[in-house]
């Protein structure tokens, strides 16, 4: 029932920009923490950025100053604007939605199918 659909991935040159979108359905979007993860070949999945249900953004140190996460609750969509892209940013980017319990544990976690971002000359 819940679906997360990413879009906006593609091939871009170093220094270029890309904007990814994650469209959510089947859930009360405004109640969820939304996040972007990425996984490069041979590497562990890592958290890139997340935005709270209240709209507070957080980004990983590796992308700080270059990536901006946002959400539009009216459109049930989360975005990440990626600027000054580097080859190290090449990965499959996944949309994640989850709620946090008072214990700090996640519940009702959902994942998108992923979208490929390739940064190369």
| pLDDT at site 101 | 86
DSSP reduced 3-state for 89: helix
**pLDDT digits 0-9 by tens, 96-116:** 999 988 898 988 999 999 999
**How far is residue 41's CA from residue 5's CA, in Å, rounded to a whole number?**
21
| pLDDT at site 118 | 98
With vertex at residue 75, the alpha carbon angle to CA 30 and CA 8, rounded to the nearest 5 degrees, is: 110
**pLDDT digits 0-9 by tens, 1-54:** 999 999 999 999 999 999 999 999 999 999 999 999 999 999 999 999 999 999
**pLDDT digits 0-9 by tens, 51-73:** 999 999 999 999 999 999 999 99
């Amino acid at each position: 029932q819940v679906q997360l659909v990413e879009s906006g991935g593609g091939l871009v040159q170093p220094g270029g920009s890309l904007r990814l979108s994650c469209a959510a359905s089947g859930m009360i979007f405004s109640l969820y923490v939304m996040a972007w993860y990425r996984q490069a070949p041979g590497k562990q999945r890592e958290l890139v950025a997340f935005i709270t249900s209240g709209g507070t953004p957080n980004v990983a140190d590796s992308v700080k100053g270059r990536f901006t996460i946002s959400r539009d609750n009216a459109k049930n969509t989360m975005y990440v604007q990626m600027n000054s892209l580097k080859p190290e940013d090449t990965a499959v980017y996944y949309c994640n939605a989850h709620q946090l319990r008072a214990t700090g544990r996640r519940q009702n976690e959902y994942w998108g199918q992923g979208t490929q971002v390739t940064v190369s000359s």
